[in-house]
Structure 1
Amino acid sequence: MNELKKYIVTISFSLIFIALIGVLFYNQSQIRQTPTIYVFDIETDDFYIKDIEFVVLPDYIYVAKQYLEVIGENKVFDGVSYGLSIGENMIVSLSQADDPFHLPDTANGKIYYNTNNLFENMKVSKEDSIHVEIHYKVNGESKDVVGEIKLSDVVKPFTLTGERKPIHLQ
């Protein structure tokens, strides 16, 4: 009977040891995962949304920044709003009343937005798409722009060997 107890204790410790090693390897693989960075520009007929950048880690998305830049001259805006979503999750939602290109913090027809949003418990893959909605009024005319952008098309390469072409949405 004594040998049976030793055998059960030995087997139990062995199973616990194997389970702990498995948990350790799993945790190390999660820590060492490389983040995926997505960077792109959106072009409408009247302005750009440039340097839209977000980083995807397992279960997390971090949205960094973007800026608006007017296209052309003699344009008067009466509000600009836009949203970016992946699936049912909105990752960027900005709205600016009046003319964003003529505010005190605008420089050379550009206005910068530092969103710095962290979203937890979101799973994103390169096969997903970003849904884009842009609403604005320019020179008295209301415009609505809607589109989809595949994430696989906007993955940031490790070396940037040329200029990004903006994605034109109408």
Structure 2
Amino acid sequence: FWLNSMTMRDICVKGLVERNLPGYAIGGLAGGESKDSFWRVVAQCTAALPEDKPRYVMGVGYPLDIVVCSALGADMYDCVYPTRTARFGTALIPEGVLKLKHHAMAEDTRSIDPSCSCMVCKTYTRAYIHCLVTKDAMGSQLVSYHNLYYMIKLSRDLHTSIIEGSFPEYVTALVH
């Protein structure tokens, strides 16, 4: 007989919860499924896992996915996305991504993100980083620094909004 993947997840989650583990990992995702399917699986798993234990979703790195998974009850994530995308000269910004290898960046004297207070944004222009990412590994390192700072700030802001009871308002402001 054949069980669908959602039924199999229910069986697995039930078995894990019965073991009373110190925390739980949700995996087997972020491999090309639709966002809707991905979020449904996270919702299914987090709904069945204890709220008083950490719920970790493996391989989640896109900012929107982190926000949605947090809303669904996940607590932790990991992913190479911030540094991998930096190797290609792409910076994370509130509006999405900024492709610093693009020719338009060659003369742009603004910082990567004027609202960001990281060392890279306070020190270097898009034009300077454009020059580096097209010719030198140092550019990727600077963009990685910025992207990690961006993700840490996002995580900190999510955490603060949950603690302060303003998570719905924070998410609404973030996605608009």
TM-score, scaled relative to structure 1: 0.31
TM-score, scaled relative to structure 2: 0.30
Bigger helix share: 2
Larger relative contact order, structure 1 or 2 (CA cutoff 8 Å, min sep 6): 1
Bigger strand share: 1
When Rg is computed on C-alpha atoms for both structures, the one with the higher figure is 1
